[in-house]
Structure 1
C-alpha cells in the first residue's frame, strides 16, 4: 500500500505541487510555529535545540531512517474511541498499526505513566518513532512474544557516509564485531542499549529485537533528564536526542500529529511499509537496509559473503584493502581520571550535594573532548541519577571532563559505588565511593505547652507530640526513641512512675522504632501512672542527635471527702 501511495505521489507530482502551494499559504495564515514541507504537510517546530552533538550521543547513532510522511488527509474517525486517547479510523490503511506493536507502545506508555508521571509520554510518540525507524517492525513481522522475525539492522556505522562508531558489544546484538549497527524495531545502537535496555515483556531478558523491550526502553530514554514531553521544547530535545537531525524531528512530529488524530490495529505482518530512507540508497555501503536483515547463522551473528572462486585464466588480483577509518576522539583516549569529585554523602531521601566528574585523557595527559563517558551506579542501593536512571552517558567537553547528573538518594542506607567508563573502549574505568546515611534531625520541640499531669493510678489526659527539624526544615521519616529515664544524669529506663502500654497491656518505659511523619511530627502513645507520686522525665532522641526532655508530674490521689449522709460521731459529753 505504501508503495502504491508513493507511485501515486510521483505520478501526481504536478497536482501535489499545486496543493503544496495552497497548503503553504494556509499555513502562513495560521500563525507562527507551523512548517509546511514540499508536499504540503504541516508540522509545528517551536524552538529548535542545537543539532550539533556527536552521533554516538543518540539512541540510534544517527543511523538512517524512513522519511515517508503521512497522507495529506487526516484520518477519518468512526464512532468508536480508543480508551488511550486515539480514535478508531479503521478505513485508513496508513493509520493502521500492527496489533502486537501497538500493544507494546501502549503498555510502555502505561508503565511510564506510573514510573515517571511527570514525563507525560504519549504512546503515539513511540508509534511515530517506530514508524520512522523501522516501519513498525517491518509492518509487524513479529512472533507471539513480540520478537522480530529476522533481525532489523541498520548499516555499518563505519564512517563511510555515516557516523564512525567502532564495535562496543563484540557483535552480540548486531552480529558485527568491527562496527556498531542500529538494532531492532526502535533501532538502538548496542552502546546505548547496554544502559537503556529494558525487559518489557517480563521474560527476564532485555532484547532490542523484541518490540515490548524496545518500546519500554525508548520510553525511558525519552523521559530521562526529567523532560516533560507535554512541553514543546522538552519534546523537541527528547526527539533530537534519539536521532540528531532537524529533518528527523519534523518527520517524527508529523507522524505523532497524524496518529493523535486516529489509529486502529491491523493484523501482525500486514502494516504499510515505507519506501524512502534518509540516505537515499536502497543498499547503503557497508550494511543492509533496515527492512532487509542479513543472513543468520546458528548461534547468532551474520553470515559473511561467500568468497569468489579464483578464475582459471591466470593469476587473480588480490582484493583491495578496506580504507582505514579516520581516528575518532574516543580512539585517542588512554585513561580516565577523577576530576575533582568530593566526598559523596547524602541523607536518605535527599539529593547529593556534589556531582561526579571524570576526565578523559591522552597518554600525555591532555583532555579529550567529544568522548562518551558512561556512569553506572553499582551495588545494592535505590539511589539513582536525577530522572530515576541507574546509568547516564555524558559527552566530555573541550577540557575532556564529563559531569554526571546529580545523584538522588533513596530510602536505603549504606555504601555503593559509581563507576565511569569510556563507551567504545576497554580501558580501565574509575570508581567513586558514595554513602547514604539515615534521615536525621537536629532539633525537637513540643507542639503544645499543656501541663503533663496525672494522679497516681490514672492516665495522662494529654499525649506528647513533638516536631523534628533539620537545619530549620521539616525532618520526615526520622527514627526516634522515647524513654522514661531515672534522672537528668541517668538516662537508663526508670522502674517506677509513668509508663506506656505494649500490645498486651503490660507496662513498658522505652519505645523504639518510632518515626516522624511527612510533616516531621511524632505523637507518642498514651501515658499511664502507677501509684508512686513524684516528678519524672521523658527523654526523646533521634538519629542526628536531637534530644528533648519532657517533665511529667504524678500527684497523690485525692482524699475522699465524707459523704453528707454519714452521721456525726457522738461527742464525749454525750
Structure 2
C-alpha cells in the first residue's frame, strides 16, 4: 500500500455503515484465511492468519490497503459527519483512462492465454482501487508509468510481515526490508517471478500500470483457478492479500464496478482516505490498546503503583523475600526455521520432447542439520533459463508445502517448443538457504516410424506428373508424432543419399525443379508431400524421407518412356502381287 495521499477523503458515517452491512451480507460465507495443499493450491480456512502468514507468497506481502467502501447507488449522497464533502457514486465509479485501459487490456490478454480463468477486468479494477486508488487517481504518464513512486511501509515485522530486503532496493528503494511497490503493490520478491511486460517496451516495471495489471492478472489465474466460481475467486483474492477484511473490500468494489463505470481524465480520479493500518480508518475498527500500551503515550494517571509486600511469617517487621528470577523459555523454532538444507528426494532424469509433459516430477525433501524430515514447510520451485517450459499450471513458479515425510512434489513440468536445457530451482520460502537445482532438457519432437498411406504404384511417364501425391504417417512409440521435422530427398542411389540431378522432382514457388524439401508432420502425424513431376529421363528412382528421431522410409519411383505411336502407313490387309502376263 502506498503512503498517505496528498488529501484524505472520509465518507460519511451513514454511507460507510450501510455499505459495510451490504458487504457483510454479500460475504458472510467467505473464509478469512488460506492453506496450501500438496499440489500448491490454496484453500480458505476459518483462522485469521498472522502478519507473516504466507506473506512472501502473496503479491503484496500482506501490506496495508485502503478500506474505503463504495458508496450506495443512491441519487443523493449520504450526509457526512466530517467537514469533507461526500464523494458521489458517479465520481467513485470513474476510473482514470490510462489505468482503465491497462485493466481491460490485461484481461483481454488473459482471455487468450488462459481462457479457463475467466478473469474479469473489474476484478483488476477492484484490486487496483484497494491497493493504490488506481495509481493515486491516475497520476501516471501516457505509457502507464507512475509520475511518483507508490511504496508501502517497511515490512520489518513492526505491525506487518517481516520480509528482509530481496532486491537490494532496486524496486522499492529500501536495502533493509522489502516494501510493496507500484499501482498493484507487488513486493519485490513476488515481482521477480510474477512480473510481466504489459506495454511492450521490453521492461517489466512494477511502477507501470500496464505491466502491473498484466502481472496481477497472471497472478490471480494461477493453479488453474476459474474466477467465475466463487470458491476460486475467493482463493485468488486471498492469495493477493491474506485477510478476510481485504477479501470483503475487494468483493464490494468488484460488484460495484460490475454495475457500471466510466473513464475520467488521468489525474482526476477520486482518492481513498482510510487505510487498514490506521485504526481510525480500518474496517472493522480494532479495539484500541490502553493508552499506556501505545508507543510514545504517557499519562500521570497510568503511573504504576508499587506492589505491597506481604508481611513475613510470624508478623513483625521483616525484610521482604527476594523475588525469584524469572526465566523465559524461548519458543521452539517454527518448521521453516528448523530447515537446514534441501535434498533431492529421488528425482529421475528430467527429459521430454517439445510439447510433451515430463514423465518425472521433481521431489524435494526439507531436512534439519541431522537429516530429520521437516513437514509443513513451503518450498518454491522456479523455472530459470532461456526456455518456454512451464509447470502444468501454466506458470514458471509453484509453491508446495512439504508433507509429514518432509517431501514437496512440484507440479508436472510441461515442455514448450524451445529445445535445450533449463533449470528448476527449489528454495525454502522465508529462508535464505542455498537453493537446490534440477537440470531438465527439452528435445526436438521425434518419430521412430514412418509408413506410407496407400499402396498405389508410384509410376509416371517422362515429362509427365505422378498421379498420386505421397502421404506418410509418423509415429513415436506407437503414438502419433505431430510437429516432427522431416526431410524428403530424391537420392542418387541406396548407397548415395545425395540429391539426384535428374529424374523426378518437386517444384518450388518459382516453378523451379528441387529435389530436397524440408517438411513437418501435421497434428495427425501426417506428412503430405507436394506434387511430383518427371523430366525426360526414364528409369527407376528413389525418394528417401527421414525425420528427427531417426525414422526413415525409402520409396521406389518408376518413370517410363511413352509407348510409340503406330505409323499410319502400316496396313493390316493382304498384299496382292501383280498378275502374271497370260500365256499366249
Distance in 2 (CA, whole Å) between partners of 1:146 and 1:359 is 43
1:544 matched to 2:542? The reply is no
Describe the SS at the equivalent of 2:12. Answer: helix
For 1:244, which of 238, 242, 245 is the aligned residue? 242
Q: Which residue of 2 is the match for residue 563 of structure 1?
A: 568
Correspondence for 1:445:
451
Structure 1 98/537 Cα, relative in aligned 2: closer, same or farther at 3 Å?
A: closer
Listed one character per residue, the Cα deviations across residues 325-357 of structure 1 (whole Å, up to 9, x for unaligned) are 996544443322222221111111112111223
- Structure 2: 5+ residue runs without aligned partners? 1-6, 35-42, 48-52, 77-87, 283-329, 580-584
Closer, same or farther: CA 363–500 of 1 in aligned 2, 3 Å: same
Residue 259 of structure 1 deviates from its aligned partner by 0.4
Equivalence for 1:364 = 370
Which residue of structure 2 aligns with residue 480 of structure 1?
486
**More divergent stretch after superposition (172-181 vs 500-509):** 500-509
Task: Tell me which residue corresponds to 1:341.
Answer: 347
Aligned residue number for residue 94 of structure 2: 96
**1:272-297, CA deviations, whole angstroms, 9 ceiling, x for partnerless residues?**
3334444452599xxxxxxxxxxxxx
Give, in angstroms, the shift of residue 488 of structure 1: 6.0
Name the residue aligned to 2:412.
Answer: 406
Write the deviation string for residues 42-64 of structure 1: whole angstroms up to 9, x where unpaired: 78869993247733321122233
Match of 1:518 in 2: 523
Q: Any conservation in 2 of the 1:43–1:254 contact (CA below 8 Å)?
A: no
**Partner SS for 1:270:** coil
Structure 1 158/380 Cα, relative in aligned 2: closer, same or farther at 3 Å?
Answer: closer
- Cα offset, 1:144, TM superposition: 4.7
Tell me, in whole angstroms, the C-alpha distance in 2 between the residues paired with 1:428 and 1:481: 46
Partner Cα distance (2:208, 2:462) in 1: 73
User: Could you tell me how far apart the structure 2 residues matched to 1:167 and 1:271 are?
Assistant: 32
C-alpha change, 1:341 and 1:273, in structure 2 (3 Å) is same
Answer yes or no: is the 8 Å Cα contact 1:466–1:523 preserved in 2: yes
Residue 169 of structure 1 and its aligned partner are, at CA, apart by 2.6
Residues 326 and 154 of structure 1, relative CA distance in 2, 3 Å threshold = farther
Given that 1:57 and 1:395 are in contact with CA atoms closer than 8 Å, whether structure 2 keeps it comes out as no
> Which of 429, 436, 446 does residue 430 from structure 1 map onto?
436
Give the C-alpha shift of residue 565 in structure 1. Answer: 8.9
Aligned in 2, Cα 1:43/1:254: closer, same or farther, shift over 3 Å?
farther
State the secondary structure of the residue aligned to 1:181: coil
Q: When the two structures are superposed, what TM-score results if normalisation uses the length of structure 1? A: 0.75
- Structure 2 CA distance for aligned equivalents of residues 448 and 110 of structure 1: 46
* Residue aligning to 2:558: 553
The answer to whether the aligner puts 1:192 opposite 2:186 as a matched pair is no
* 1:216 maps onto 2:230 in alignment: no
CA distance in 2, matches of 1:113, 1:75: 35
Contact 2:275/2:281, CA 8 A, preserved across alignment: no
CA contact (8 A) 1:341 1:354 kept: yes
Q: Retained in 2: the 8 A contact 1:74–1:261?
A: no
Question: Matched residues in 1 for 2:535 and 2:198: separation?
Answer: 61
Based on CA coordinates, which of the two structures has the bigger radius of gyration?
Answer: 2
Distance in 1 between residues matched to 2:59 and 2:408, nearest whole Å: 19
Distance 1:350 1:239 in 2: 32
Deviations 1:191-223 (A, max 9, x none): 111111223344444332332322121112112
Match of 1:234 in 2: 232
Call closer, same or farther: CA 1:487–1:136 in 2, change over 3 Å: closer
SS at match of 2:557: strand
Structure 2 equivalent of residue 258 of structure 1: 256
Among candidates 172, 177, 184, match of residue 174 of structure 1? 172
Shift of the 150–462 alpha-carbon distance from structure 1 to 2, 3 Å rule, reads: closer
- Given that 2:546 and 2:552 are in contact with CA atoms closer than 8 Å, whether structure 1 keeps it comes out as yes
Separation in structure 2 between the aligned mates of residue 66 and residue 427 of structure 1, nearest angstrom: 35
1:384 aligned onto 2:378 = no
The aligned runs of 1:452-531 (5 Å cut-off) are: 452-485=458-491, 497-501=503-507, 508-509=514-515, 511-530=516-535
TM-score (norm 2): 0.74
Distance 1:209 1:258 in 2: 26
- The superposition leaves residues 374-432 of structure 1 with CA deviations (integer Å, 9 ceiling, x where unpaired) of 43333332222334433444444444433333222222222222233344544332222
TM-superposed deviation, 1:71 = 2.5
